Amino acid sequence: MNIQNIQTALEQLPIPQSTRTLGGEKAIVLLEERSDGLYIKLQFGFPVNHIRQALAEQIQTALNPLTNGAPLHIDIGLSVATHKVQPGVNTIKGVKNIIAIASGKGGVGKSTTTANLAVAMANMGARVGVLDADLYGPSQPTMLGVAQSKPEQKDKKLIPIVAEGGIQVMSIGFLVDTEQAVVWRGPMLSQALQQLLFQSQWDDVDYLFIDLPPGTGDIQLTLSQKVPVTGSVVVTTPQDIALIDARKAVDMFQKVNIPIFGVLENMSVHICSQCGHAEAIFGSDGGKNLAEKLGVPLLGQLPLSLPVREAMDSGSAVQMQAAQPAVAEIYTQAAWQIAQAIADKGRDFSGRFPKIVVE
């Protein structure tokens, strides 16, 4: 068995559902022949559970001619790094990367998108958190099935609630009566957002999704100035009025140097549950055209779906994705593109340097 030939063959192998190779990702961390077979350890900077089986089969097929039928022991691991954020903002202990989910206007399914991207990323093998920054209308506790929970406090830190799938959740909805209006001015909103984020004891989160309120106001400004954001996703529907407002969200992120990972088009088509007829009731390809104009990826086009709406109301996003593989696949592919885009960013090393205090 020639280890060098095996190494070369492995490095040239493409990673399923991507344009990457194992060699290009420096994923091979162990290749060793032992008495009971060949041991291969791979480690990726992005979650790969959804392609794990396809990758293992690909390795088996490629190496069979080179190993004389020796058993393969394949270990596939994950090590997500902390990547660069906007200048002058420090990263948060326990959180590696933050993804802001935004829209210029309400009612486009931004909160639904946030919850389902989080579920998809967790299913792919990452450690995931969700921060509900829509302080006027917090909905993540309901959507993720933890509306009746209350966070504990430890060492002056709030312990995020853990939803199904291991998703860590923090929301103002845990701390106030959600049936009462939140009548706060901008500074109070900004302070509340910072407390929810910085005073929560996040537990080694690879990707924290922040569900932003609509618009480009105080919360968004605080996010851009005080919160270390790795990148953003803009959610829109195909109709013109939603696209106009989505462009404002895009413009906001560009002005504050937060990269846009892509556009996700929601409610792109309605499929009749009785006859299966598909109709683009909000217009067609608006999100696609916006993504092309901006030069960013179109992360997906999601149908207007009754099972998704029911799952969000009942807090059963995990079960919905298990029962609706076609819908789950769209969210998975969107999360996959986001994870790869983050992996391509430069790493953040600020945490390795001591803070210098001049007295």
Residues of each annotated binding site for ATP: 104-111
Q: Find, among 153, 140, 226, the residue nearest to 191 by Cα.
A: 226
- Tokens standing for residue 348: 């953040």
Structure tokens at 347: 């790493």
Half-sphere CA count of 232, side-chain side, radius 13 A = 30
Residues 139, 131: contact at Cβ < 8 Å? no
- CA–CA distance, 327 with 308 (Å, rounded to integer): 8
Q: How far apart are CA 195 and CA 153, in angstroms?
A: 13
Q: Which amino acid makes up residue 120?
A: A
Binding-site annotation: residue ranges: 104-111
Which residues lie below 8 Å from residue 238, measured CB to CB, with a gap of 6+?
265, 267, 268, 280, 282, 283, 284, 285, 286, 287
What is the distance between the alpha carbons of residues 118 and 110, in angstroms, rounded to a whole number? 12
Quick one: tokens of 81?
A: 């790094």
DSSP H helices, the chain, are 3-12, 52-67, 110-123, 140-143, 186-198, 218-226, 240-255, 286-294, 306-314, 317-323, 325-343
- C-alpha 117/C-alpha 211 separation (Å) is 11
Measure Cα distances from 276 to 270, 271, 318 in Å.
9, 6, 24
326-to-16, 68, 94 alpha-carbon distances in Å: 18, 40, 33
* Opening angle at CA 163, ends 269 and 176, nearest 5: 95
